[in-house]
Structure 1
Amino acid sequence: MAIPKIIHYCWMSGDPFPQDIQKCVDSWSEIMPDYELRLWNTENFDCNMLPYVAEAWDRRKYAFVSDIVRLHALYTEGGIYLDSDIEVLKRFDDLLDNPAFTGFESGNRIGPWLIASEKGNPLIKKLLDYYRGRHFCDEKGNLDMTPNTVPVTRILTGYGLQPVNEVQHLPNITVYSEEYFCPKNPWTNEIKITDNTHAMHYFAGAWNDKASEEMGFIGDIDKNIRRFLGWRRENSDGSEIIIYGTGVVGLRCYECLCQEGVGDLVDSFMVTKRDNSWLEIDGVPIIEVREASSNDNLKLVLVGTNPRSHETIGNTLREFGFGNVYYLGS
């Protein structure tokens, strides 16, 4: 069985497509005129199928509704799901023999804004089952704004996914490297198109009200790392570095330190609690803060996260005896 030539997409607001979105959608038929386009909206999707969906719909958080739409469409019909801000550059025919496929985005996380599958794929059912019984809004009115990159990456890690930007063939799915679907780095806007590039994701960021703030901060990481290294030369005793955080910010910090020629000073990554089974990244071990040794307490901790979480992380580090701490962007 092969993945059918159906492109699923979702537009729940009912508003007209903005010009940049229309350009992306038009590219699908221009490059692959023999593929069927299947638009999902309130006329053909039951927004009450799960509590999570109904709660996201009621709060007009349409991108989170689409997290369920894509999985429902792929499991019941099969095909390729594309977010509306994806431009197709090359036909997908050479990928359709996979039972399913998706790709990495920056930061070694899965980007399920492009995901494809045969009908009835058990992995897609497992992803869909993740949302059964979950709530988008809790009893206090707090919204679960966790992007779907997090649970999808976590679940695929259970299937053997490694945090390495290369093609990986897992049970029931193939994960492609960034060059296939994510040639644009959303934090630096750098674009690297290769012969393997099939699509370009423009990261419209509609799911996250703080997307612009986040991208601006991450775009300054190179500058902030150079500032950190200057501070370290004047204020540190040459201690090894622990990077606190394994998200996009933390990984970008590591990349920048490597580019500055000091990547070998990074002793480990640190997290409050692992959200998957990864034990290392690029050969650098990941430790939980509660696992830290007395020797670790002597090292310089670079907090590689968005500043809005610095206070909470600082409290945790002090609780576990870390006093030599630098907060990125401070």
Structure 2
Amino acid sequence: MRVLKSFDIFLSDPAFSAIEFNPKIYPIALQNGFFDDEGNLLYDSIQIGLGLQVQAAVIGAEKGNSYIKSCLDYYIGKNFILADGLFNNKIILPDIMAFYARNFGFKYINREQKLLDIKLYASEVFAPHPKLVTSKSYAIHCCTGTWRKKHGLESL
């Protein structure tokens, strides 16, 4: 993470994060019928690779937050190392968080959403990639090594 501005503005929310949006992948998922016109997921299971999830790199919450508890409950009874010795990493936290956010009013649309017990900001607020930073960005999620010099940013 590269923090650009103070997070104090978010501290009045019971929980906060942002949409994680991939402008190249999301239109494909939309075209393939994963969502309806209102942004509802049309499947009753966690889907991966949709191009729109809940940002897991930046999240804050008050103690006892019901949304956070629902996400953590996903892990009850699950092992991180499978019987064959491989890591259980096919479903990642942003997909889990988006799936459980549906119970709080979440729509698979890249816009600010005030849900029951969490406020999700548009993806630019906690930008998922340095190329998607705007004047409204508070932080950059430097995923996939985007902080390295080959990507045009100084080492953090």
Q: Distance in 2 between matches of 1:148 and 1:183?
A: 14
Counterparts of residues 150-299 of structure 1 (less than 5 Å)? 150-182=95-127, 184=129, 190-194=131-135, 196-204=136-144
Work out whether 1:137 is the aligned partner of 2:81. yes
The one of 105, 113, 119 equivalent to 2:57 is 113
**Alpha-carbon distance, 1:103 to partner:** 0.6
TM-score, normalised relative to structure 1: 0.33
**Alpha-carbon distance, 1:98 to partner:** 0.3
> What is the root-mean-square deviation in Å for CA atoms of aligned residues?
1.6
Work out whether 1:127 is the aligned partner of 2:67. no
The one of 11, 14, 17 equivalent to 1:102 is 17
The answer to whether the 8 A contact 1:183-1:193 is kept is: no
Q: Percent identity?
A: 32
Q: Distance in 1 between matches of 2:72 and 2:59?
A: 13
Letter in 1 for 2:138: H
Q: Distance in 1 between matches of 2:54 and 2:126?
A: 11
**Structure 1 unaligned blocks of 5 or more:** 1-85, 206-330
Larger radius of gyration: 1
Q: Give 4+ residue runs of structure 1 displaced > 4 Å after superposition.
A: none
Counterparts of residues 20-59 of structure 1 (less than 5 Å)? none
- Deviation string for 1:276-314 (max 9, x for gaps)? xxxxxxxxxxxxxxxxxxxxxxxxxxxxxxxxxxxxxxx
**Structure 2 unaligned blocks of 5 or more:** 22-50, 146-156
Letter in 2 for 1:158: N
Q: Secondary structure at the match of 2:125?
A: helix
Q: Distance in 1 between matches of 2:106 and 2:132?
A: 25
**Alpha-carbon distance, 1:158 to partner:** 2.4
Letter in 2 for 1:199: A
Letter in 2 for 1:128: L
Q: Secondary structure at the match of 2:100?
A: helix
